[in-house]
Structure 1
Amino acid sequence: MPHPYPLRALGFCSIDDSCDPDILLSVSRSYSFVEWGVLFRPDKEGEPRYATESYVKDKLYKAYKASNGCMKLAAHLCGSRVNEVLRGDDSFLKTLVSLGFKRVQINATSVNGVDTSTLPSASKILRTVISGNRELEFILQRSEETRELWEPFDAEVEGNVSMLFDESKGTGVLPSTYTPPPSQYPVGYAGGIGPSNVVSVLESILKVSGEKDFWIDMESSLRSNVDGVDSFDVMKCQRVIRRVCEEVGLYQFCS
């Protein structure tokens, strides 16, 4: 039976080599609404927040296979990975599908290392890429900076496109207000969300979203300093899950 609460997913982003995939698998088996986000940016691969290729292809993929489909994975493209897509190169996207990724977020902002001067001409190219990869759901980061990329999709909707409201452009700043979701595609919200405020954020979004499903995504708030190393903190994810399940009252949403 579908849950009555309109929360589609909890997105936990910046999975990197500091994460034990078996722990991620255990969380996914208990809470199938959790989505693990991996940041892909070749010039930063191996740094905190950016998983290595071997980690994704070997360790994370092994956990995904063992999950029998309950582990949800999202690829958050940054830097040259976005520039490739905006030029029409979808070869990397094809590899993601084979590794279990079902959603791809296009972080087409300057803070994410993207050449934003190409955005005015890139929308048509991106549409071709999206229509040629129907097995993936594409998430467009919706902000003023990326308007020239996402706005054409408002008028001519693609069935496998979603929008993420994040005016902070991935910098983890909590917005003062939340935008009511358009009716034509799925939406998510990000920016400054974490264990300490997830309940109040959900309450604020519900005031503008009505009964429309949405997801929320978080990143910066899930990091901790472990022995001097910036690391992904699964315990913080579990705090978010616990607050959502207990304080929001989503007992039937949590297995």
Structure 2
Amino acid sequence: MSLLNPPAFITLTGADDSTNLFDMRDIARCFPVEWGILLSPERRGQPRFPSHAFINSLRFSGLKLSAHICGAYSRDLIKFGDVPELHPILNSGMFTRAQINTNDAKVNPKEIARWAARFGITPILQCRNPDHFPDSGDVKWLFDCSGGRGQTPERWPLASGEAKRIVGYAGGIGPDNIEAVVRTVGQRPTPYWLDMESRIRDRSNRLDIEACQRVCTQTWGQVEPA
């Protein structure tokens, strides 16, 4: 049995070279998921930060993918307005959304939106105010009070009942608390997605496919492959 007002989709973040593409496809055939791919020049090849070869293997996978731009890539984008090294994969069409992971107060949503429009992708920025989401409609907003550190907030902001825009929630979400999170943020009939990474890792600090499966079945119930 699925939860009332479940998320429109869940972003499962952290697939890398050790992740089985067939496992990713199996989950995607049953549930509305997006796979978050972490991009960082400093950490490429480390757990949850895939190599160029793995990213290229996703090009014709048919999976829904988002680029999570981290580290020097994120800093360069905010400082210079572009990251030429990312042009090939962003122009490939494999990503439909791009999340810029930063706590830089100087980030300009309008500039990020113009940059993303060059590649035909939807931009995402993080926000941290537990009382409300930013008014700007230039980007999609993901509430994450800990800035990617996987800390569960004391409270979650609820989107305005009149708002039709989709908003996102992240911060310590995983199999152990997904039901409680959905019961809270799903109180209003507005569309939303959930993003998770820290609570769906295994002991090797890599993406745990079994944890991903549990999150999905707890949210939507057991679903047969399409």
| Structures share fold, TM-score greater than 0.5 | yes
Residue 242 of structure 1 and its aligned partner are, at CA, apart by 1.1
**Structure 1 gap segments, 5+ residues each:** 110-115, 145-149
Structure 1's 244 and 121: CA in aligned 2 closer, same or farther, altered over 3 A? Answer: closer
Q: Which residue of 2 aligns with 1:214?
A: 192
Match of 1:162 among 140, 164, 172: 140
Residue 6 of structure 1 contacts residue 212 of structure 1 at CA under 8 Å; is this kept in 2?
A: no
Residue 68 of structure 2 contacts residue 101 of structure 2 at CA under 8 Å; is this kept in 1?
A: yes
More helix by share: 1
Task: Determine the C-alpha separation between the residues in 2 that align with 1:239 and 1:17.
Answer: 22
Residue 7 of structure 2 contacts residue 186 of structure 2 at CA under 8 Å; is this kept in 1?
A: no
* Bigger relative CO (Cα 8 Å, ≥ 6 apart): 2
Calculate percent identity across the aligned residue pairs: 30
Structure 1's 243 and 123: CA in aligned 2 closer, same or farther, altered over 3 A? Answer: closer
After TM superposition, the score normalised by the length of structure 2 is 0.85
Residue 97 of structure 1 contacts residue 136 of structure 1 at CA under 8 Å; is this kept in 2?
A: no
Structure 1's 223 and 251: CA in aligned 2 closer, same or farther, altered over 3 A? Answer: closer
Structure 1's 200 and 105: CA in aligned 2 closer, same or farther, altered over 3 A? Answer: same
Task: Determine the C-alpha separation between the residues in 1 that align with 2:205 and 2:28.
Answer: 23
Residue 11 of structure 1 contacts residue 217 of structure 1 at CA under 8 Å; is this kept in 2?
A: yes
Q: Which residue of 2 aligns with 1:16?
A: 16
Aligned residue type for 1:128: R
- What is the SS of the residue equivalent to 1:126? helix
Task: Determine the C-alpha separation between the residues in 2 that align with 1:177 and 1:137.
Answer: 27
Considering only aligned residues, what root-mean-square deviation do their CA atoms show, in Å? 2.5
Give 1:19-38 correspondences, 5 Å limit: 19-31=19-31, 33-38=32-37
For residues 12-60 of structure 1, what are the alpha-carbon distances to aligned partners after superposition, in whole Å with 9 as ceiling and x for unaligned? 10111110112111221222x1111111111000011111111111x22
Aligned residue type for 2:142: L
Residue 5 of structure 1 and its aligned partner are, at CA, apart by 3.4
Q: Which residue of 1 aligns with 2:218?
A: 243
Match of 1:103 among 89, 97, 111: 97
Give 1:1-255 correspondences, 5 Å limit: 5=5, 7-31=7-31, 33-57=32-56, 59-62=57-60, 64=61, 67=62, 71-86=63-78, 87-91=80-84, 92-93=86-87, 95-109=89-103, 116=104, 119-120=105-106, 122-123=108-109, 125-133=111-119, 135-143=120-128, 154-155=135-136, 157-158=137-138, 161-182=139-160, 183=163, 185-207=165-187, 210-225=188-203, 229-246=204-221
- What is the SS of the residue equivalent to 2:54? helix
**Structure 2 gap segments, 5+ residues each:** none
Residue 90 of structure 1 contacts residue 129 of structure 1 at CA under 8 Å; is this kept in 2?
A: no
Residue 127 of structure 1 and its aligned partner are, at CA, apart by 4.0
Residue 165 of structure 1 contacts residue 190 of structure 1 at CA under 8 Å; is this kept in 2?
A: yes
